[in-house]
Structure 1
Amino acid sequence: MLKIGDQAPDFSLKSTNGSTFSLSKQKGQKAIVLYFYPKDDTPGCTAEACSFRDQYEDFKDLGAEVIGISSDSEASHQKFTQKHRLPFELLADTDGKVRKLYEVPRALLGLLPGRVTFVIDKEGVIQYIFNSLSGATDHVSNAKKMLQGLPK
């Protein structure tokens, strides 16, 4: 199980804008709030994404970039992003490899992909992990509090 103080595993995935996002390319630049969520356009996931959207400028001011990951396709992410005007990238982990790499557990008796947020500092070290399927918007407020204690 990944824990605070571990180096965040590197990965590359396709993003909503058609480019490839690689965690290693972010090292030394800014902190990353990496949030795994179950599915585009479901009530909890929409509330979480819109909460990140509404506080996105706060995250930028704290020196962080927000990145969402689910197993949905790039096309699904593009629709979700457009519908809710999301200013951050969503990454398509269609085969679940990154979810597995980050050891994100399944929820509700293994029926749903879990909801876990990682705060990764600009050196690539995991500083915070929050796992809660039901507390979708708590991921946003908790990540923000954590970032306030990190150097920019």
Structure 2
Amino acid sequence: MLQKGNPIPDITLEDQNGNPVSLSSFRGKKPLVIYFYPKDNTRVCTAQACGFRDNYEAFQKVGAEVIGISGDSSKSHRKVSESRNLPFLLLSDPKKKALNSFKVPSLFFGLLPGRVTFVVNKEGIIVHTFRADFNADNHIKEALKVLKNI
């Protein structure tokens, strides 16, 4: 798994509206919270997305953008985004390009991608990583705490 001090990979993925989004386009502009999650419309993943949604204003106040990434399709992301009123980007990674580049560990003997959050500074360098496969609540609190100190 990429760690503190590593630059984020320059990857372009489709967002929930089918638009290409390059992670490098944020470099020099704002910090990022990039969270990887296993699957749309599952209990823990939905709770995590809603937690980021409910705290999105706090992330905006510290100048950060939130990006969720999973292997689900843009169409699936769009449904989740619309039904849950998510104000942030969900990126589709069906070929596991981002998952592999960030070296996100798997769950259940490789059957599911892990749940990992990366906090990235304005320069595109990872300043904190957090892995908690079954507890999504801590990702939000931890990310906000780190962002307030960078």
TM-score range for the pair, normalised by the shorter chain length: over 0.9
**Deviation readout 1:100-121 (Å, 9 max, x if unpaired):** 0000000123222100000010
**Cα displacement (A) at 1:78:** 0.4
Q: Does residue 131 in structure 1 map to residue 131 in structure 2?
A: yes
Tell me the SS of whatever aligns to 1:79: helix
Partner of 1:45: 45
Equivalent pairs counted in the alignment come to 150
**Cα displacement (A) at 1:31:** 0.2
Partner of 1:148: 148
**Deviation readout 1:116-137 (Å, 9 max, x if unpaired):** 0000101000001001111111
Contact map agreement 1:116 1:130 (CA 8 A) in 2: yes
Q: Does residue 100 in structure 1 map to residue 103 in structure 2?
A: no
Matches within 5 A, 1:51-130: 51-130=51-130
CA RMSD of superposed structures (Å): 0.8
Aligned partner letter, 1:56: Y
Partner of 1:10: 10
**Deviation readout 1:33-64 (Å, 9 max, x if unpaired):** 00000000100000000000000000000110
CA distance, structure 2, for counterparts of residue 104 and residue 34 of structure 1? 12
Aligned partner letter, 1:116: V
Tell me the SS of whatever aligns to 2:142: helix
Structure 1: any 5+ residue segments left out of the alignment? none
- TM-score between the two structures when normalised by the length of structure 1: 0.96
Decide which moves more: 43-52 or 12-21: 12-21
Aligned-pair identity in percent equals 49
Partner of 2:20: 20
**Cα displacement (A) at 1:10:** 1.1
Aligned partner letter, 2:101: L
Structure 2: any 5+ residue segments left out of the alignment? none
